[in-house]
Structure 1
Amino acid sequence: MTEQRVALVTGAGQGIGRAIALQLAGDGLDIAVADLGFQQEKAESVVAEIEQLGRRAVFVEADVSNRDQVFAAVDRAASELGSFDVLVNNAGIAQVRPLLEVTQEEMEKIFSINVNGVLWGIQAAAAKFEELGKKGKIISAASIASIQGFPILGAYSSSKFAVRGLTQVAAQELAPKGITVNAYAPGIVGTAMWDHIDEELHKINGKPLGQNLQENIDTISLGRVETPEDVAGVVSFFASPNSDYVTGQVLLVDGGMLYN
């Protein structure tokens, strides 16, 4: 009998995280839906959606910038769902600001979530895999901005470049334990994060709301905005046995914007 697999997805209460959680549940995994406390209602609705798919799920409160909370979330996922096999470091924030205007507080905030949160996740997952004798999978959110820096998104771009570096180093250090470490790099996804980016760019350059977003969509070879489900399909691959010989990679899933 095949042992039941369990995944923890951070930032899973909405957007890309929700789509990933539902995709992995559809793939047959039980899911720990991790998010901030004020997102609990949304996260609990994702738990309900997963349960409707016939899988077990639990909400786990976690601020990924807090190392202790990340380790506690992994512990809860393993204890309440009976295993631990996949971590998806999905939680992240964007920041739209000319580089010369970025404050120390803003830089520390975006790195505490986008970079530190990924590192704490890698550490917590690796420790749990070793404890359980697992050859697990760690999957993190990068971005097209991890391959190419974008103006007015300097702090965000640098944080995602850091995720790319962490992914490459962790893959090398954890390979002897049989743990794979990869990342997905979305482009222009139709979520609240891009609504925020569009609004902030509007304040900076004065273009009508929606125009900055549309101009970015116009650069996509496949001609449409990306959906959270597009991203979830790539994560599904990384979480599956099909990717057992893939590690240290950042896979662009952008509809044809960058060619790396």
Structure 2
Amino acid sequence: MTNHPIPTDLTGKTCIVTGANGGIGASAVEHFAAQGAQVFATDLGPQFTGDFDGADRVSYQAFNLLDADGLINCLAWIKSADPDVLFNNAAIFDMGTVLDADLAQYDRLFGLNVRSFYAVMQAAAQSMVAQNRAGSIINLASQAGHRGEALVAHYCATKAAVISYTQSAALALAPHHIRVNAISPGVIDTPMWQDVDALFAKFENKAPGQKKREVGEAVPLGHMGSPSDVAGTALYLASDLSSYVTAQTLCVDGGNVLR
């Protein structure tokens, strides 16, 4: 009987994960490493710790992608890793309507969620082309990128830009056999939701925890998602299972966005 590798096997692959220190990013690191990949992870601050299969295949470097030198150094680090897969996950969230979301918030959100996101994607793509690698780039969008929200003006716009850049990059890189896709999570139960809930409490005069409960109950499947729901989709897009999938944005949202 012939032994066939499992379809999601990433043995021999190098995966880069940005925003790797918690929630979705940390789960993606664990999923990729468990499937045999060498994982290069980055975020602010010290490396997250965890006891998981393949942890010895994870190396970590801290970069501040909103700092000019930090971004330059990160791009050089990406190219030196010769990646097969990029999970372009680093992002920040803030809240404000068009009446009070000022340009300082705009610069911060667009600086990381669009400018640095684009530079990281470009560096990975340039490395893949230079090494003649048929790679996979996975960008983290959001359900907020599919529609405006009154209290989340700048964030929604940044994630709409991620979706657009994903489509353009996929078409540009298809001749090089590099696939580019995005994932649009819905409401995912990560540590960031504590901050998000606090902002909604402020802007909507809600009790602490009320918004988080409400958005979970409003999901058609009846609950918030988990980081592993998104990381599992990232694993699919990183693997040969998705070899004919490019220029797509996969909604992992329990049915919130119908497309």
The reply to whether TM is greater than 0.5 is yes
Aligned to 2:5: none
* 1:107-126 correspondence to structure 2 within 5 Å: 107-126=106-125
> CA separation of 1:54/1:156 partners in 2, compared to 1, >3 Å: closer, same or farther?
closer
Aligned to 1:172: 171
Measured against aligned partners, the alpha-carbon deviations of 1:183-223 in whole angstroms (never above 9, x if no partner) come to: 10101111122211110110112110111111111111111
Query: CA shift at 1:161, angstroms?
Result: 0.3
Aligned to 2:130: 131
Query: CA shift at 1:3, angstroms?
Result: 6.9
In structure 1, give the amino acid aligned to 2:234: V
* Total equivalences in the alignment: 247
**1:226 matches 2:234:** no
In structure 1, give the amino acid aligned to 2:231: A
Aligned to 1:33: 41
TM-score by length of 1: 0.90
In structure 1, give the amino acid aligned to 2:79: D
Aligned to 1:58: 59
Indicate conservation of the 8 Å contact 1:93/1:193, yes or no.
no
Structure 2 alignment gaps of length 5 or more: 1-9
* Cα RMSD for the two superposed structures: 1.6
Query: CA shift at 1:54, angstroms?
Result: 6.1
In 2, Cα distance between the equivalents of 1:35 and 1:256? 30
Aligned to 1:71: 75
Stretches (4+) displaced over 4 A:
none
Indicate conservation of the 8 Å contact 1:221/1:256, yes or no.
yes
In 2, Cα distance between the equivalents of 1:230 and 1:57? 21
TM-score by length of 2: 0.90
**1:18 matches 2:17:** no
User: More helix by proportion, 1 or 2?
Assistant: 1
In 2, Cα distance between the equivalents of 1:116 and 1:195? 26
* 1:142-221 correspondence to structure 2 within 5 Å: 142-221=141-220
In structure 2, give the amino acid aligned to 1:167: T
Indicate conservation of the 8 Å contact 1:61/1:73, yes or no.
no
